[in-house]
């Protein structure tokens, strides 16, 4: 298996103005515009700790994971992350007005599907409203079998993720997809990690024992959430991008939630 080193950007340290676009690719009837930085390098972003509260939805060839812009602590970082995603949405809409004819052809109206959602029906417990509406918004990821998933440093399957647990993701700002008079950004997850506190092993000792009053041990949690390797697969990652129609234009862009 081929591997590559990945060094993600912290979301608040990446300038979205460094985004560049490839030419339009038509692959199996799908129109795709790949995204890199100004040095033609892939762009990887690390999220803050978001609270995993929803069910995993199983699709035909991927799983869907939706996270609210909410955490157990450091909510200010999550607010900044949401603002980063909003700025990313806005940039893509602005750039579409510049590249419209080459991206969309001759259509008169084109809509953009925002990365930020507000509704998700499969919620857990009572952390969110019973009607599934998230006032602060949601972000959706499509998870294929190449994504590395772990709790602390132990590899797990996607169905072993713990609910109501801080969750971080490294994702690639991968490509724009175009379908009919609609387009959007595909975020490609690379690694998912949950960090659980390790409960120390503390035990009482016999009071007649002259040894120390108690003993404990714990392993320090790994604070470096970084993906050092991943499977290099340049074809399977296109499969979960929505289908497209090659005839488009851009006269008026509407931002869809």
246: which residues sit within 8 A by CB, 6+ positions away? 26, 29, 31, 105
Q: What is the CA radius of gyration of the chain?
A: 21
Cα separation, 109 vs 187, in Å, equals: 24
pLDDT value for 32: 95
Total domain count for the chain? 1
pLDDT in tens, 116-153: 987 655 554 444 444 555 667 889 999 999 999 999 98
User: Phi then psi for 247, rounded to 5 degrees?
Assistant: -110, 110
CA atoms within 13 A on the CB side of 185: 28
Check whether 186 has a pLDDT greater than 60: yes
pLDDT in tens, 224-257: 333 332 333 333 343 344 333 333 334 444 556 5
In a domain, 210, yes or no: no
Cα separation, 65 vs 245, in Å, equals: 26
CB 38 within 8 A of CB 53: no
Cα separation, 194 vs 152, in Å, equals: 6
In a domain, 202, yes or no: no
In a domain, 209, yes or no: no
pLDDT in tens, 7-54: 899 998 999 999 999 999 987 777 999 999 999 999 999 999 998 887
In a domain, 206, yes or no: no
In a domain, 212, yes or no: no
Percent of the chain residues topping a pLDDT of 90: 43
pLDDT value for 119: 67
In a domain, 190, yes or no: yes
Residues spanned by the domain of 152 = 9-197+218-256
CB 141 within 8 A of CB 189: yes
In a domain, 4, yes or no: no
Hunting for tokens 């190449």 — which residue is that?
Answer: 146
Percent of the chain residues topping a pLDDT of 70: 70
Check whether 93 has a pLDDT greater than 60: yes
Cα separation, 112 vs 257, in Å, equals: 9
Note the pTM of the prediction, 2 decimals: 0.72
174: left (phi over 0), alpha (psi -120 to 50) or beta: alpha
CB 181 within 8 A of CB 245: no
Q: How far apart are the first and last CA of the chain?
A: 39
The whole-chain average pLDDT of the chain stands at 77
In a domain, 179, yes or no: yes
């Amino acid at each position: 298996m081929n591997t590559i080193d990945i060094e993600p950007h912290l979301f608040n340290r990446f300038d979205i103005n460094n985004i560049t676009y490839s030419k339009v690719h038509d692959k199996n009837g799908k129109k795709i515009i790949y995204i890199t930085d100004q040095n033609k390098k892939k762009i990887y972003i690390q999220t803050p700790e978001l609270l995993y509260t929803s069910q995993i939805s199983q699709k035909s060839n991927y799983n869907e994971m939706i996270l609210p812009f909410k955490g157990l602590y450091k909510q200010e970082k999550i607010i900044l992350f949401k603002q980063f995603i909003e700025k990313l949405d806005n940039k893509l809409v602005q750039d579409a007005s510049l590249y419209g004819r080459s991206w969309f052809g001759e259509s008169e109206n084109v809509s953009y599907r925002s990365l930020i959602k507000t509704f998700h029906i499969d919620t857990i417990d009572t952390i969110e409203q019973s009607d599934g509406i998230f006032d602060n918004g949601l972000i959706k990821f499509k998870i294929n079998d190449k994504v590395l998933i772990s709790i602390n440093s132990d590899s797990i399957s996607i169905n072993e993720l713990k609910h109501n647990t801080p969750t971080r993701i490294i994702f690639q700002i991968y490509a724009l997809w175009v379908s009919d008079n609609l387009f959007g950004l595909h975020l490609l997850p690379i690694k998912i990690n949950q960090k659980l506190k390790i409960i120390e092993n503390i035990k009482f000792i016999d009071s007649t024992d002259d040894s120390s009053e108690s003993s404990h041990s714990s392993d320090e949690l790994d604070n470096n959430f970084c993906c050092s390797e991943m499977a290099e697969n340049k074809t399977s990652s296109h499969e979960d991008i929505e289908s497209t129609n090659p005839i488009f234009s851009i006269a008026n862009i509407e931002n869809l939630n």
